[in-house]
Amino acid sequence: MFAPYPVTAYSAVNALGTTTRRVIEALSAGRSGLRRCTLDLAFETFAGELPEAPPPLPASLGDFDSRTARIAVAGLDELRPALSAAIARHGADRIGLIVGTTTAGLARTEGAYQALRETGHIPLDYDFHRQHSFGGLLEAVGRAAGIEGPALVVSTACSASAKALASARRLIASGIADAVLVGGVDGLCLTTLYGFHSLEILSATACRPFSTERNGITIGEGAAYLLLERTGEARAWLLGVGESSDAYHMAAPHPEGAGALGAMREALQGGAPSEVDYINAHSPGTRLNDQSEGKAVAALFGAGGVPIASTKGYTGHLLGAAGATEAVFSIVALEQGWIPRSLGADPADAALGLDLVTERRARPCRRVLSNSFAFGGSNVSLLFGSAPP
Amino acid sequence: MSGRTSPWAAVMGAGAWLPGVPDVRALMDGTRRDDADGPPARLPVRLRRRASLLIRMVAEVAAQASDQAGISLGAMPIVVGSAYGELGTTMEMLQELSIDRSVSPFRFHNSVHNTASGYLSIAHENRSPATSLAAGWQTAAMALLEARTLLEDRGGDVLVVVADETLPAALTSTVATPVSGALILRALPRDESETAMGTSEIDRALAWLADLRQEPALDGAAAPAPVDRARPADPGVDPGRAFLRLVSAAAAAGARPGLPPVRIDLTGGGDRPWSVAVGAGSPRAASRRAPQDTPTRRAP
């Protein structure tokens, strides 16, 4: 029996803006945040960098400094009133923290390693435990948020912060927490840019999910948070979660989308596919993903059965932050009654047989499904609704 | 706590590997063996090639637990806890990046934290949810917590593995050697777990409270310092070795094969936010006898 819980607050910062309002305005206006990458690389690419550098951490958290930690803490700012209210209502030790990330402070480690090679010394202010390790990032976010319940990082690559919501729901259902702050955060670093480049799936220009002109992914950075509570004033409801493994390949999705289909089906919780008003797709802009996700969606919803869009043409692929960020976008569709245009999808790949939203579409939404798929064959599908079932 | 299942789970199987200690029996006996090559890679041939130490450790201890339980790893959810993830592969990538300004594609996709859980799902054609998590010094606790909430949610069995590789000397002065442990846990219905043991057994019940974050290391290294809440990210706590205390406790309590229950509690707040108890006795016996102030191993 799946108990639905309310999402009572959310925030998102990424290439579209450093406040949630600016992010949503850009999404509504169909404006991309992707630009030529400013990092010094051996190749040309685009990236979704924050429009302004994230502010330094407060002095008390200085030991934890990394670009990712700065983005994570900056992304908390707008949630402070909601967090204070939740702490007053439940107690800080009854609020859990689950953060999805893939890199944490890896950018700091890249710099430290380079310095070691050049000078023979690790920089004095480098701290492996507090900056590199996921536990360090978790500690910094937990302290900045002022919450003291169970805290963990979920790191299942690009499904991490969607998976974090799955764990958060169970933590509340089991009675261990009354609320969980779910976050997703990643900062740009060389390893991911060079890594996706070497896999030959990094686009030289802005990514084009679902388009016949797609040419790979664009990496972005950002943070997003959702406060999931046992009770409270809902902005939206988490109505279903589906999780599966492809058991197929570390880096390639199942060609028939079997794992994706299983996750979506589980997320529907027995509800009819026709009740879903919009799918926020995983599609980061690779042919393999589009074929796999497209087949799974068509199998469950029928050809053209449901409007579908990818928001990665706005923000880039936020990796560990993608699931939480796109959960926020899904809730915005429920609250505001519009579906963002799938930026870059035009000319759309008609062979996929999907109702691709190539122009912003006004549509009252009661149910929105959000997909996140990842290396390791990790699939998560989240169902949000404007009201409990 | 919600109603359907109790916070107790049955241990169906256990596995352990660390250098010199190839399995749970060796862990209990204190016997040591030279195994400089690392654990055998209990993986299909196509996955064995270039599998990292972390992948091989996770595959090995999971297979040990599966063998003992007589349960295939083909269907149960998988939880892998690792404070640092694919460290060896990450160090190789840093070197490549620094020297050649490139990263091998294979290394890159095998550097993600969920590489080992992904390998397990592929090796056993397991399409159930698999997760990979980290929580610094609380990694073992959070892996157990994740397992517990999965058991409450789905029933059935869950594989929980905690493992970490050697810490890189280039980046940290903290010394930690490889370690891995696994448990297969089975959900117990609430009424069954509370009546599983008669009162006559309570008095001779073993009840150990394994405070996983303060247990001394198994291999003779100094016990980690008590956790300083002001600087809780301090190293010196080794989640994998802490987890092995639980594996040992479960193995010792299981004089009968099968069913020593494990209790995973979260009391919340304070400086002891969670605890794990293991006993062959009833849940009531364990909670009555388990010392709350110091981590102590009780003789029966």
Average pLDDT over residues A208-234: 98
Q: Are residues A181 and A268 in the same domain?
A: no
pLDDT at A305 over 80: yes
Q: Are residues A218 and A249 in the same domain?
A: no
User: Has residue A54 been placed in a domain?
Assistant: yes
Tokens of B134: 């980290």
What is the C-alpha to C-alpha distance for residues A24 and A336, in angstroms, rounded to an integer?
10
Q: Are residues A29 and A52 in the same domain?
A: yes
Q: Are residues A60 and A164 in the same domain?
A: yes
* pLDDT, position B190: 60
**Average pLDDT of chain B to the nearest whole number:** 74
pLDDT at B35 over 90: no
Cα torsion A117, A119, A120, A121: sign: negative
Total number of residues shown for chain A: 389
Q: Are residues A118 and A140 in the same domain?
A: yes
Q: Closest-CA residue in chain B for A159?
A: B131
Q: Which chain B positions have a beta carbon within 8 Å of A63's beta carbon?
A: 233
pLDDT band, residue B278 (cuts 50/70/90): low
User: Has residue A281 been placed in a domain?
Assistant: yes
Q: Are residues A210 and A287 in the same domain?
A: no
Number of domains in chain A: 2
pLDDT band, residue B27 (cuts 50/70/90): confident
Burial of A27 (0-12, 13-18, 19+ CB in 10 A): buried
Average pLDDT over residues B215-222: 32
User: Has residue A389 been placed in a domain?
Assistant: no
Q: Are B296 and B209 in contact (CB under 8 A)?
A: yes
* pLDDT, position B25: 87
Average pLDDT over residues A316-323: 98
Contact state of B136 with A138 under an 8 Å Cβ cutoff:
yes
Q: Are residues A194 and A249 in the same domain?
A: no
* pLDDT, position B225: 35
* pLDDT, position B261: 66
> B138 or B104, which is more confident?
B104
Q: Which of A229, A260, A282 is the last residue of a domain?
A: A229
Q: Which chain B positions have a beta carbon within 8 Å of A144's beta carbon?
A: none
Q: Which of A229, A252, A282 is the last residue of a domain?
A: A229
A189 is catalytic: no
Pick the closest to residue A368 from A235, A233, A237, A277 (CA basis).
Answer: A277
User: Has residue A118 been placed in a domain?
Assistant: yes
pLDDT band, residue B212 (cuts 50/70/90): very low
- Residues 211 through 250 of chain B touching chain A, CB cutoff 8 Å: 232-235
Q: Are residues A125 and A258 in the same domain?
A: no
> A320 or B172, which is more confident?
A320
pLDDT at B272 over 60: no
Q: Which chain B positions have a beta carbon within 8 Å of A157's beta carbon?
A: 112-114
Give pLDDT tens digits for A240-282.
999 999 999 999 999 999 999 999 999 999 999 999 999 999 9
Range of weakest confidence among A114-118, A323-327, B136-140: B136-140
Give pLDDT tens digits for B74-96.
999 999 999 999 999 999 999 99
Q: Which chain B positions have a beta carbon within 8 Å of A150's beta carbon?
A: 142, 145, 266, 273-274
User: Has residue A234 been placed in a domain?
Assistant: no
What was the ipTM of the complex prediction? 0.97
Average pLDDT over residues A354-369: 98
Contact state of A173 with B84 under an 8 Å Cβ cutoff:
no
User: Has residue A184 been placed in a domain?
Assistant: yes
> B189 or A194, which is more confident?
A194
For residue A211, the cross-strand partners are A348
Calculate helix-pair angle for B139-154, A160-173, nearest 10 degrees. 70
What is the C-alpha to C-alpha distance for residues B217 and B26, in angstroms, rounded to an integer?
16
Q: Which of A180, A198, A229 is the last residue of a domain?
A: A229
Cα torsion A250, A252, A258, A263: sign: positive
pLDDT at B263 over 70: no
Tokens of A149: 């319940």
For residue A152, give every residue at least 6 positions away whose Cβ sits within 8 Å of its Cβ, in sequence order, or none: A97, A98, A99, A138, A167, B133, B134, B135, B138, B139, B142, B145, B146
Domain enclosing residue A373, as ranges:
241-380
pLDDT at A34 over 90: yes
- Residues 172 through 211 of chain B touching chain A, CB cutoff 8 Å: 172, 174
Give pLDDT tens digits for A130-186.
999 999 999 999 999 999 888 999 999 999 999 999 999 999 998 889 999 999 999
For residue B17, give every residue at least 6 positions away whose Cβ sits within 8 Å of its Cβ, in sequence order, or none: B23, B39, B57, B60, B61, B64, B179, B180, B181
Contact state of B149 with A174 under an 8 Å Cβ cutoff:
yes
Q: Are residues A342 and A294 in the same domain?
A: yes
pLDDT band, residue B29 (cuts 50/70/90): confident
Q: Are residues A219 and A266 in the same domain?
A: no
pLDDT band, residue B7 (cuts 50/70/90): low
Contact state of A129 with B174 under an 8 Å Cβ cutoff:
yes
Q: Are strands A307-309 and A95-100 parallel, antiparallel or unpaired?
A: unpaired
Q: Are residues A18 and A163 in the same domain?
A: yes
A207 is catalytic: no
Q: Are residues A283 and A222 in the same domain?
A: no
pLDDT at A120 over 90: yes
* pLDDT, position B265: 60
pLDDT at B243 over 60: yes
Average pLDDT over residues A214-228: 98
User: Has residue A71 been placed in a domain?
Assistant: yes
Global pTM value: 0.91
* pLDDT, position A345: 98
Average pLDDT over residues A322-331: 98
What's the CATH number where A314 sits?
3.40.47.10
Spot the catalytic one: A37, A158, A189, A207: A158
For residue B208, the cross-strand partners are B278
A90 is catalytic: no
* pLDDT, position B209: 29
**Average pLDDT of chain A to the nearest whole number:** 97
- Residues 75 through 104 of chain B touching chain A, CB cutoff 8 Å: 78, 83-85, 90, 93-95, 97-99, 101-104
User: Has residue A235 been placed in a domain?
Assistant: no
> A125 or B283, which is more confident?
A125
